[in-house]
Amino acid sequence: MTRKEQSESAVLLISCPDRKGIDAAVTRFIAENDGNIIHLDQHVDFERDWFFMRIEWELEGFALPREAIGDQFRPIAGKFHMEWSLRFSSRVPRMAVFVSRLPHCLYDLLARWKSGEWKVEIPLVISNHSHLEAVASSFGVPFHVFPITPQNKESQEREELRLLRAAEVDLIVLARYMQVLTPVLVDAYPNRIINIHHSFLPAFPGSRPYHSAYARGVKVIGATSHYVTRELDAGPIIEQDIIRVSHKDTVADLVRKGRDLEKLVLARAVWYHLQHRVLVYGNKTVVFD
Amino acid sequence: MTRKEQSESAVLLISCPDRKGIDAAVTRFIAENDGNIIHLDQHVDFERDWFFMRIEWELEGFALPREAIGDQFRPIAGKFHMEWSLRFSSRVPRMAVFVSRLPHCLYDLLARWKSGEWKVEIPLVISNHSHLEAVASSFGVPFHVFPITPQNKESQEREELRLLRAAEVDLIVLARYMQVLTPVLVDAYPNRIINIHHSFLPAFPGSRPYHSAYARGVKVIGATSHYVTRELDAGPIIEQDIIRVSHKDTVADLVRKGRDLEKLVLARAVWYHLQHRVLVYGNKTVVFD
Amino acid sequence: MTRKEQSESAVLLISCPDRKGIDAAVTRFIAENDGNIIHLDQHVDFERDWFFMRIEWELEGFALPREAIGDQFRPIAGKFHMEWSLRFSSRVPRMAVFVSRLPHCLYDLLARWKSGEWKVEIPLVISNHSHLEAVASSFGVPFHVFPITPQNKESQEREELRLLRAAEVDLIVLARYMQVLTPVLVDAYPNRIINIHHSFLPAFPGSRPYHSAYARGVKVIGATSHYVTRELDAGPIIEQDIIRVSHKDTVADLVRKGRDLEKLVLARAVWYHLQHRVLVYGNKTVVFD
Amino acid sequence: MTRKEQSESAVLLISCPDRKGIDAAVTRFIAENDGNIIHLDQHVDFERDWFFMRIEWELEGFALPREAIGDQFRPIAGKFHMEWSLRFSSRVPRMAVFVSRLPHCLYDLLARWKSGEWKVEIPLVISNHSHLEAVASSFGVPFHVFPITPQNKESQEREELRLLRAAEVDLIVLARYMQVLTPVLVDAYPNRIINIHHSFLPAFPGSRPYHSAYARGVKVIGATSHYVTRELDAGPIIEQDIIRVSHKDTVADLVRKGRDLEKLVLARAVWYHLQHRVLVYGNKTVVFD
């Protein structure tokens, strides 16, 4: 294991109007406090003249105690009108998983957590069916069923919200959850609900994309993970990928091939989020990879 | 060079309602005439109960002379209600290329022809601008300019059609030709006009797909080659592929990355067509690769 | 679900010297017994003049009872000097998984089995460590530990062989099993032991391929699934795939990215095998996909 | 066209031992001279504790005249023991192309230059055969033939070197040049000779990699572009990519599929180099993409 993996680090995610001197100001802040920068990624969007930065530095030997860093940084942030967030690698994020009947993404997420591949807590799984209860149980994760009807959807989400808050959840992952969320949940976790959609958006939004892909006769199918917004399948895209298909593939084959893609694309998006690598602006993302 | 590449061969492309005994009947026809099968690909679409086959065999030692094969096969075709076509590898197809101002696909096609990579003739290039005349000339290919306005489009296409027929053209390739064809040309060359569209259809049809892809913040861009039908960008898809993009990529970067993709995807589609490997049914293709 | 997925089918895998009339003979056999062919894939290797076929047909309405098919086919097979095997989709194959300390492939395989994605039985997991016992247990699969030393390897494999035979295992999957097998097991399951190697073979055989890939500065890493033969990492390749890496990736990043690739490449190879889609000849495979 | 594409810019490529304050020092230098940073990419290799940076800023409004920038930067470079180079986007690099008999990469490079896709000059093409003279001529590029024998190779390269120097060549591209260079040329253009090798190195170095790939039965083939060093096919890798193949593909098919890959991988590598995006360290590259 290299120095990089062992040590504790701090990450600053920054976005602000572009102007001269931002890099210099931020790096001087780290340098003057004796910090060692591990990663610095910076990007300017010239269509909007907007500046983005992810900077990660080691906390060992850093002059400021963790709890003082934000306060000391605030004047710099203010000067440049930054939106910013500060995260410490020692803080383990807490993630809720929403599912319906399809188990493949749930298995994949739980295995990554259980095997220690991801530094995350999964305090609960929520579903509109009891179908996957045994899966969660076999991993020792509490499973909560909230049956959904058009009539009760908002009230059920309010119950779910209570549960999520009690569990101090940072991130919600919709792992093939077959319900459209209402603003109750969407507005409570802005840019913190990740969905996996089984097409390369914006092609084939909505339901049954594999059937639509089959009918159109496409030669590739895709999957898209995105943050959930009020508009269905239209939130900021975090990650996409595709796989080739041919005339030989039935809808069932598309579903089979798509399953592996969904797992992979969702896992990558969640990993980027957990690593504090995603910045949202407008309806797009900057993913520092 | 293997036996396969050296010898002359015949290719039968067949589609018909699925029923028992088709494979047996076709292969018996070849076997009884002492033919050696090089490739046999067969596919059944179970949604439509439709049968597809591509069968290629060596003509050396085949009992029937070339000109008699069709006649002898006709009774079998009739029995199974086949749509079928017969092609000989010795016949060199003739291809017209339509362009506007962007040269990359034109260069790519001309280089494949000139270097002998493809067994094809390119008797002419047609354009609505004189912009790329020097490119065609440097390869020694006649270049014809037909300026297009909404008013003259149909009459110009009728002129083009005369030229194409005089040149005995089998296939038209729209190599980033920035005009929508009218039924004059579309109906004259059904499933014989190949277009390259610079998005992974059905996402981003129509104009300026790279701008739309940029605006949507997708993480992959694509290209699609398809047969041209009366409906814009909606014909049977022959080939698609994608390339990853990121927040760093401007529209100009998408255009740059897309160019290479367009060349590749168009070239693959044309090659499949030239090899007599594409069958159209409904609005989809079977590509025997 | 289409007709194809519902009905029971038979699959014949055939390889033999190429000569005229094989297709005709096999398809006539199916047709005369009133069978409906679902898939026919045929291939000729012209370097070796060798013929390969996979043919699948529905058993419903087939004139021969299952147990008579082989006997009736034998004269045809004899005439063409075929190597052949016959498999029925109703027969559920039995698969043993070998692991060491890395859980990701094991989780992936067990989840595919448990969720019903694959029609397979997993009667046991074998390991040289007790490390992953809890994983197997949480899926309800018996776990057997056989500690391996250079001295006891052969005798331990003989014990394992007894267990595998008692469990009527058809296929062994080495899911990052960190031991080289001896001929005791290799010879007992020819072309029925699938390994996953974490490089794009033949690059980086043997141990620590991610370290070697990092040292060489490659821009893609890969994974390879192959049948195990007596020669290390040199058996017939079933499936390979790659993922892009960059200078930013440490060895730990390669390991992380490679994990997902290993799961995918191994799962595809096992699926092809379970579907009776793989033919081995010489040291290569024909994979009918 | 965005501001970014229009304006002239300067690029600094920097590598040095990692220590605190490098980012701050470099960005302060730009900021104090009123420069606007367009791109800043920074990387630390923690295995070697080595720091890498590419920084690009607009020259419009920059306080220093172009010719003074290096002098003013030198003290900073000295303090941190930097290796560094400075390039202006207005400077058009000059590139020589070496070929033998295969035209596809040559066509591809010439088309990119001629169509204005790349901002580069191609003052000459050098070959050991006259075979491709007509290709160069059709693009109006001088073509020089230097027949090579084991006996005359060094003396011929000395002649070539004279020609290259007279043409003020910055970069040599070996576009399927089938000769191993001697130290005469290799040492004269360190990290400025780019080769395309038709395999995913380190698999299948040397000659006839497609034949080797066919014999091994791999399921992907690749291409690798790298800087040429004294050791054959062992220089720093700039770019690699792969394409899937199957049992259906003959050696001729691998050659055909590989051709497109070679063009693409070589073009990407050359483009990165022309954009001043490649840093070599040890035997590896940092490619700022």
CA distance D43 to chain B (A): 16
Q: Please count the residue pairs, one from chain B and one from chain C, whose beta carbons lie less than 8 angstroms apart.
A: 62
Which of C3, C41, C117, C262 to mutate to probe the A interface, most A CBs <10 Å?
Answer: C117
Q: Which of C108, C233, C241, C289 is catalytic?
A: C233
Whether the Cβ atoms of residue D202 and residue D226 lie closer than 8 Å to each other: no
Output the pLDDT for position B46.
73
Residue among D27, D38, D41 minimizing CB distance to A27: D27
Inter-chain residue contact A247 with B202, CB threshold 8 Å: no
For residue B209, what are the CA distances in angstroms to A213, A234, B182, D117? Answer: 19, 17, 22, 20
Contacts B38 to C, Cβ<8 Å:
44, 46
Q: Touching check for C130 and chain D: CB below 8 Å?
A: no
In the beta sheet, which residues pair with residue D54?
D13, D41
What is the number of other CB atoms lying within 10 angstroms of the CB of residue A119? Answer: 13
Whether the Cβ atoms of residue C25 and residue C80 lie closer than 8 Å to each other: yes
Inter-chain residue contact A20 with D36, CB threshold 8 Å: yes
Contacts C222 to D, Cβ<8 Å:
200, 220, 242
Q: Please check the confidence at residue D8 and state whether its pLDDT lies above 80.
A: yes
Contacts A175 to C, Cβ<8 Å:
none
Domains of chain C: 3-88 (3.30.70.260), 94-287 (3.40.50.170)
Whole-angstrom distance, CA of residue B2 vs CA of residue A168: 67
Whole-angstrom distance, CA of residue A43 vs CA of residue A55: 12
Residue of D182, D134, D130, D117 lying closest to D156 (CA atoms)? D182
Where helices occur in chain C by DSSP H, the ranges are: 3-6, 22-32, 66-79, 104-114, 133-138, 153-166, 183-186, 209-216, 251-274
Q: Is D35 helix (H, G, I), strand (E, B) or coil?
A: coil
E strands in A175-262: 193-197, 220-227, 237-244
Output the pLDDT for position C38.
80
DSSP string covering C216-251: HT-SEEEEEEEE--SSTT-S-EEEEEEEE--TT--H
Inter-chain residue contact A289 with C248, CB threshold 8 Å: yes
Inter-chain residue contact A41 with D37, CB threshold 8 Å: no
Whole-angstrom distance, CA of residue B149 vs CA of residue B156: 9
In eight-state DSSP terms, residue B206 is: S
State the sign of the Cα–Cα–Cα–Cα dihedral B104, B110, B114, B117.
Answer: positive
Closest CA in chain C for residue A39: C248
Q: Which of B49, B233, B249, B289 is catalytic?
A: B233
Residue among D4, D115, D289 minimizing CB distance to B103: D115
Q: Judging by DSSP bridges, how do beta strands D50-58 and D9-17 pair with one another?
A: antiparallel
Query: Could you identify the residue written with the tokens 């003074």?
Result: D68
Closest CA in chain D for residue C279: D247
Q: Touching check for C107 and chain A: CB below 8 Å?
A: yes
Q: Please check the confidence at residue B6 and state whether its pLDDT lies above 90.
A: no
Query: Could you identify the residue written with the tokens 């001629």?
Result: D114
Whether the Cβ atoms of residue B123 and residue B169 lie closer than 8 Å to each other: yes
C-alpha triplet C277, C283, C285: angle, nearest 5°? 20
Q: Which chains touch B (3 or more CB pairs under 8 A)?
A: A, C, D
Closest CA in chain D for residue B118: D256
Contacts A17 to D, Cβ<8 Å:
none
State the sign of the Cα–Cα–Cα–Cα dihedral D259, C244, A240, A141.
Answer: positive
Inter-chain residue contact D250 with C47, CB threshold 8 Å: yes
Inter-chain residue contact D21 with A3, CB threshold 8 Å: no
Which of A119, A138, A262 to mutate to probe the C interface, most C CBs <10 Å?
Answer: A138
Output the pLDDT for position D1.
36
To the query of whether residue D34 is one of the catalytic residues in this protein, the response is no
Q: What pLDDT digit, counting tens, does each position of B93-119 carry?
A: 999 999 999 999 999 999 999 999 999
Inter-chain residue contact D37 with A31, CB threshold 8 Å: no
Whole-angstrom distance, CA of residue B110 vs CA of residue B136: 8
Output the pLDDT for position D224.
98
Q: Touching check for C108 and chain A: CB below 8 Å?
A: yes
Q: Touching check for B225 and chain A: CB below 8 Å?
A: no
Q: Touching check for A37 and chain D: CB below 8 Å?
A: yes
Whole-angstrom distance, CA of residue D66 vs CA of residue B277: 58
Q: Touching check for A35 and chain D: CB below 8 Å?
A: yes
Q: Which two tokens stand for residue D78?
A: 């000295």
In eight-state DSSP terms, residue C93 is: P
Contacts A49 to B, Cβ<8 Å:
none
Q: Which two tokens stand for residue A169?
A: 């959840």
Residue among A31, A35, A47 minimizing CB distance to D2: A47
For residue B188, what are the CA distances in angstroms to B15, B162, B163, B168, B229? Answer: 22, 11, 13, 13, 11
Low-confidence stretches of chain C (pLDDT < 70) are 1-6
Contacts C111 to A, Cβ<8 Å:
103-104, 107-108, 111
Instruction: State the pLDDT confidence band at D155, using cuts at 50, 70 and 90.
Output: very high
Whole-angstrom distance, CA of residue D225 vs CA of residue D237: 6
Q: Touching check for A252 and chain C: CB below 8 Å?
A: yes
Q: Which of D18, D233, D249, D289 is catalytic?
A: D233
What is the number of other CB atoms lying within 10 angstroms of the CB of residue B187? Answer: 11
Query: Could you identify the residue written with the tokens 């996953």?
Result: C196
DSSP string covering D264-276: HHHHHHHHHHHTT
Q: Touching check for C28 and chain B: CB below 8 Å?
A: yes
Biggest CA–CA distance in chain C, Å, is 62
Which of A1, A23, A45, A47 to mutate to probe the D interface, most D CBs <10 Å?
Answer: A23
Output the pLDDT for position C2.
44
What is the number of other CB atoms lying within 10 angstroms of the CB of residue C162? Answer: 10
Q: What pLDDT digit, counting tens, does each position of D179-215 carry?
A: 999 999 999 999 999 999 999 999 999 999 999 999 9
Q: Please check the confidence at residue B76 and state whether its pLDDT lies above 60.
A: yes
Q: Which two tokens stand for residue C158?
A: 């003989």
Q: Is B225 helix (H, G, I), strand (E, B) or coil?
A: strand
CA distance B248 to chain A (A): 7
Whether the Cβ atoms of residue C128 and residue C100 lie closer than 8 Å to each other: yes
Dihedral over alpha carbons C56, C61, C63, C64 (to 10 degrees): 60
Contacts C30 to B, Cβ<8 Å:
24
Whole-angstrom distance, CA of residue D51 vs CA of residue B210: 35
Model confidence, pTM: 0.95
Residues in chain C: 289
Whole-angstrom distance, CA of residue D50 vs CA of residue D43: 8
Q: Which of A233, A241, A249, A253 is catalytic?
A: A233
Q: Touching check for A7 and chain D: CB below 8 Å?
A: no
State the sign of the Cα–Cα–Cα–Cα dihedral D259, D264, D265, D271.
Answer: positive
Output the pLDDT for position C46.
73
Average pLDDT, chain B: 94
Dihedral over alpha carbons B167, B172, B176, B180 (to 10 degrees): 100
CA distance A79 to chain C (A): 32
Q: Touching check for A259 and chain C: CB below 8 Å?
A: yes
Whole-angstrom distance, CA of residue B164 vs CA of residue B162: 6
Residue of A94, A68, A79 lying closest to A25 (CA atoms)? A79
For residue D108, what are the CA distances in angstroms to B106, D267, D283? Answer: 12, 8, 28
Q: Which chains touch D (3 or more CB pairs under 8 A)?
A: A, B, C
Contacts A222 to B, Cβ<8 Å:
200, 220, 242
CA distance D184 to chain C (A): 25
Whole-angstrom distance, CA of residue B247 vs CA of residue B57: 51
Backbone angles phi, psi at B36, to 5 degrees: -105, 115
Closest CA in chain C for residue D241: C220
Q: Touching check for C137 and chain A: CB below 8 Å?
A: no
Whether the Cβ atoms of residue B62 and residue C48 lie closer than 8 Å to each other: no
Residue among C2, C27, C47 minimizing CB distance to B27: C27
E strands in D32-101: 36-45, 50-58, 83-88, 94-99
Backbone angles phi, psi at B177, to 5 degrees: -85, 120
Low-confidence stretches of chain A (pLDDT < 50) are 1-4
Residue among A217, A242, A284 minimizing CB distance to B217: A284
Q: Touching check for D136 and chain B: CB below 8 Å?
A: no
Q: Which two tokens stand for residue C33?
A: 């017994």
Output the pLDDT for position B7.
75
Q: Touching check for C7 and chain B: CB below 8 Å?
A: no
Which of B40, B117, B262 to mutate to probe the D interface, most D CBs <10 Å?
Answer: B117
